[in-house]
Amino acid sequence: MAMKSGSDYKESLKQRNINVYAFGEKIEEVTAHPLFQPHVEAASLTYELAFDPSTEDLVTAKSHLTNKKINRFTHIHQSTDDLIKKVKLLRLIAGKTGSCYQRCVGWDAMNATYSVTFEMDQELGTDYHQRFRKYLEYIQENDLMVAGSMTDPKGDRSLTPGKQKDPDMFVHVVEKNDKGIVIRGAKAHMTGIVNSHEMLVMPTMAMGEDDKAYAVACAFPVDTEGVIHIFGRQTNDERRTGDGGEIDQGNAKYGTVGGEALTILEDVFVPWERVFMCEEAQYAGLLVERFASYHRQNYGGCKAGVSDVIIGATTAMAQSSGVDKASHVRDKVVEMVHLTETLYCGSIACSCEGAATPSGAYYVNPLLANTVKQNVTRFIYEIARLSHDISGGCMATLPSEKDLNHPEVGKYVKKYFKGVEGVSTEDRMRIARLVENMTGGTALVESMHGAGSPQAQRVMILRQANLGHKVKLAKKLAGIKDKEKDL
């Protein structure tokens, strides 16, 4: 089959029999519901741009399995150039959507699973890698969107998976037979899963032998029997589903963040050919680490693209108020640009410093990748703060679009929220709502906790820091000879 266009992708979603709930109701058709349409549109752009000559080089690649042209979101990185193109691609699409386009998690999950299953087969004599290659070829041939599924609810976080009072707090194997396995549990914060085709389940943390039932990686369609998706609330979601207009939504076409859901796995059967890890607990940590580093690489790309839009919207707000030439405003915009480009530098650096794994697939520099995400947890908040500072309080207190268009009070809204000549009140309100949408609520929380909490990155940074080497460098310069034990 050929690569999907945006319209092909939307049509393919209608062929599923997915079980989705939102606002206490079962949703019959995701693509027709205003709550999900922005997420569908954002993901659709990842398909559409593959056919645009100006973006084709970034959005497509040649499959190392079939030598066919494929969408890059289904590609296994074969060089540092692939890793760099990934970051550039993410910034490009984020700048066009101002939101999450949801395919990165599955892409990173596929790359992590590809390399780890190869090493498992080499060391254990299993055939997980061959199974995964066949699955990957299926994904590439059909140009499918895969939802990476790692995060478990975790229950009591002071306890390991095997010691939870409720064993379902982590996805686990409850049955094995000659045809496959049965799994039970849930995956939380599932980005884009209601408008994906497949989900790729992975363990959520490093595990010991007592947790081996929880060391499972497998894949299946999002509409498999026993799979239930409960859509999460987002900032301004009622502005989409109510009878308001598009201005109040801020980013009416592409929405806010990535459309996350809680996905229940109620005794889901998975055939052996779709199982890529089953009770090999010693490899759970490696799979988590690979996935996390790939995913943290992304943030200097996608968040730089989103920040490009925030900087543009903030500048437009300043222009509409007549303060864009003020020295303190210009200085704050410079700081926003500086923070944005610093994030981008980090993602490019961890890509340039990537290296081949035993499978031949390329892996980012994990220390630099985790540093990128650690910076995102701080810099995006500062970019948002500076945007709020420049944009002014009106973005948080604006009357509604209905008031703007009201036959009696609309004239007052137009009069008293007017800024400089040449900029209409409506345009000023549109930009203010865009700033509000992109710098508050769900968007900021995702910057903090997406791809793992800040502490998770700090653990990885310390692990990768090679402190012993740094101590030796200092001792040598200080003229201290090594003793029996280094500090």
Q: What are phi and psi of 284, to 5 degrees?
A: -60, -45
Active site residue 11: no
Question: Of the residues 60, 97, 151, 191, which is catalytic?
Answer: 191
Residue 43 sits at the vertex; the CA angle it makes with 39 and 45, to the nearest 5 degrees, is 120
Q: Is 299 a catalytic residue?
A: yes
Q: What angle do CA 250, 251, 254 make, to 5 degrees?
A: 160
- Which residue carries 């929380």 as its tokens? 445
Per the annotation, the verdict on 119 as an active-site residue is no
The alpha carbon dihedral of 15, 21, 27, 32 has a sign of negative
Is-catalytic flag, 238?
no
Q: What is the dihedral of CA 368, 369, 370, 376, to 10 degrees?
A: 110
Rounded alpha-carbon distances, angstroms, from residue 304 to 299, 380, 390: 8, 9, 19
Sign of CA pseudo-dihedral 30, 35, 36, 41 = positive
256, 295, 362, 371: the catalytic one is 295
350 is catalytic: no
Q: Is the dihedral of CA 88, 252, 196, 450 positive or negative?
A: positive
Active-site entry in 60, 75, 100, 214: 100
Torsion, CA 430, CA 436, CA 442, CA 443, rounded to 10: 90
Q: Which of 41, 280, 289, 446 is catalytic?
A: 446
Q: Among this protein's residues, is 278 annotated catalytic?
A: no
Annotated active-site residue 104? The verdict is: yes
What gap in Å lies between CA 437 and CA 273, rounded to an integer? Answer: 43
Of the candidates 104, 218, 278, 350, the residue annotated as catalytic is: 104
* Marked catalytic residue, from 48, 119, 198, 260: 260
Angle at 352 between CA 64 and CA 138, to 5 degrees: 25
Active site residue 260: yes
Could you say which of 214, 299, 344, 362 is catalytic?
299
Place of tokens 């296994």: 76
**Catalytic residue positions, numbered:** 100, 104, 191, 260, 295, 299, 302, 446
